[in-house]
């Protein structure tokens, strides 16, 4: 009896590093995706965020098109589109267009959070809260616009009808677990930062799952932070950029990704702060050997069908190296 294969993918925010232009940032996103394609990754997802100087993936569907154009086999998608920010009709048109340009390669992951602060959410869409509460209905609209049966409706997304773009439900609490199970859609949990509800959420999803035309069995994707280098000390050094980024989130002082420094006692103390420690619970930092043991344990506990790795590192070459080593780990675990 062969062991179940665990797929591995990338979640990216197109983070802007100190001293880098947006053009460099977008070029680096494409460069990473091209390497990921050669390393055997399944998909490369971009996350929608707004009003953050260190995040470049605001116009998510545009960036997805750019990365898809520069790759050949890798699935490219959203992790996710924050649906309450948008008209379902417009999202169906955007992703229907992408799905026609890059057949069987585009994913539409959907979340209900704004991906920004309250004021910016209001600026994006004045009825954001109402749209967030009707998230299940908004998803149904998307499904309808992609259906060939919508050809007889008065309101149509003609470029989406009959185009195959799989939907994924994203979650960071238990709410979306119920919804993904009810609709029989794959479920991607943001355990790379929202660690508290991981076990409850995947348990709910698996217990309540209803087979659908899209999916016969539950499909769980779990986010993890991955920073791998050639030795533990170098990985810890690269980790300092992420620690400073997390501190910026908690203090409201978001800044460009800072160059790494040596790990100091002050930074080690910050990691032990209860909130930050909890947030980084599923962060695997170290050499290939160190991280492999942690990833193996995580897969055994979650029984995730797919891991989606987040690697927030200052330098693109260090990021690519980390993702190369993570791919080696996953191939070894899948063939043991």
Alpha-carbon distance 110 to 114, whole Å?
11
Assigned domain for 45 exists: yes
**Higher pLDDT residue, 3 or 323?**
323
- Res. 291: pLDDT tops 80: yes
Q: Which pLDDT tens digit goes with each residue over 237-271?
A: 999 999 999 999 888 888 999 999 999 999 999 99
Q: How confident is the model at residue 2 (pLDDT cuts 50, 70, 90)?
A: very low
- Residue 80's φ and ψ, nearest 5 degrees, are -145, -175
- Containing structural domain, residue 95: 7-229+283-335
321 found inside a domain: yes
Show the tokens assigned to 322.
């980390």
Structure-token pair, residue 259: 């160059």
| CATH, residue 224 | 3.20.20.30
pLDDT tens for 142-191 read 999 999 999 999 999 999 999 999 999 999 999 999 999 999 999 999 99
pLDDT at 250: 87
Question: Whole-angstrom Cα distance, residue 13 to residue 60?
Answer: 9
pLDDT class of 3 with cuts at 50, 70, 90: low
Residue 48 lies in a domain: yes
Q: Which pLDDT does position 126 carry in this prediction?
A: 83
Answer yes or no: is 38 within a domain: yes
| Six token digits for residue 69 | 């154009």
* pLDDT given at position 113: 86
Q: How many structural domains is the chain composed of?
A: 1
**Beta strands per DSSP E along 24-121:** 43-46, 75-82, 106-111
Rounded Cα distance, 254 and 216, in Å: 42
Whether 1 maps to a domain, the answer reads no
Using the structure block, give the residue that is written with the tokens 């055994």: 300
What pLDDT, on a 0 to 100 scale, did the predictor assign at position 234? Answer: 98
In a domain, 97, yes or no: yes
Q: Flag whether pLDDT at 114 surpasses 90.
A: no
Contact 287, 231 (CB under 8 A): yes
pLDDT tier, 1 (very low <50, low <70, confident <90, very high otherwise):
very low
The answer to the question of residue 262 being in a domain is no
- Is there a domain that residue 149 lies in? yes
Q: What's the mean pLDDT when you consider all of the chain?
A: 95
Q: What is the pTM of this model?
A: 0.96
């Amino acid at each position: 009896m062969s062991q179940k294969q665990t797929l591995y993918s990338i979640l990216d925010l197109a983070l802007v590093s100190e001293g880098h232009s947006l053009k460099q940032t977008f070029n680096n996103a494409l460069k990473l995706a091209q390497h990921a394609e050669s390393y055997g990754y399944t998909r490369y997802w971009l996350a929608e965020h707004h009003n953050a100087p260190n995040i470049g993936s605001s116009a998510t569907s545009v960036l997805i098109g750019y990365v898809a154009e520069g790759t050949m086999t890798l699935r490219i998608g959203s992790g996710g589109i924050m649906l309450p920010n948008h008209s379902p009709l417009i999202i169906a048109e955007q992703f229907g267009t992408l799905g026609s340009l890059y057949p069987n390669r585009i994913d539409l992951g959907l979340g209900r959070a704004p991906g920004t602060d309250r004021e910016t959410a209001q600026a994006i869409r004045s009825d954001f809260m109402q749209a967030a509460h009707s998230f299940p209905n908004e998803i149904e609209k998307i499904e309808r616009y992609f259906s060939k049966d919508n050809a007889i409706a008065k309101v149509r997304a003609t470029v989406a009808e009959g185009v195959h773009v799989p939907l994924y439900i994203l979650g960071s609490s238990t709410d979306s677990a119920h919804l993904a199970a009810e609709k029989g859609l794959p479920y991607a949990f943001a355990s790379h930062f929202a660690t508290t509800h991981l076990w409850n959420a995947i348990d709910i999803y698996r217990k309540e799952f209803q087979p659908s035309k899209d999916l016969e069995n539950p499909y769980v994707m779990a986010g993890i932070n991955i920073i791998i280098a050639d030795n533990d000390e170098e990985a810890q050094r690269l980790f300092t950029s992420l620690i400073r980024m997390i501190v910026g989130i908690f203090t409201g002082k978001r800044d460009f990704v800072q160059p790494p420094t040596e790990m100091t006692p002050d930074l080690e103390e910050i990691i032990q702060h209860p909130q930050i420690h909890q947030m980084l619970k599923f962060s695997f930092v170290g050499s290939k050997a160190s991280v492999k043991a942690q990833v193996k344990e995580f897969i055994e506990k979650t029984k995730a069908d797919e891991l989606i790795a987040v690697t927030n590192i200052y330098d693109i070459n260090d990021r690519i190296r980390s993702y190369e080593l993570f791919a080696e780990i996953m191939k070894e675990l899948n063939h043991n």
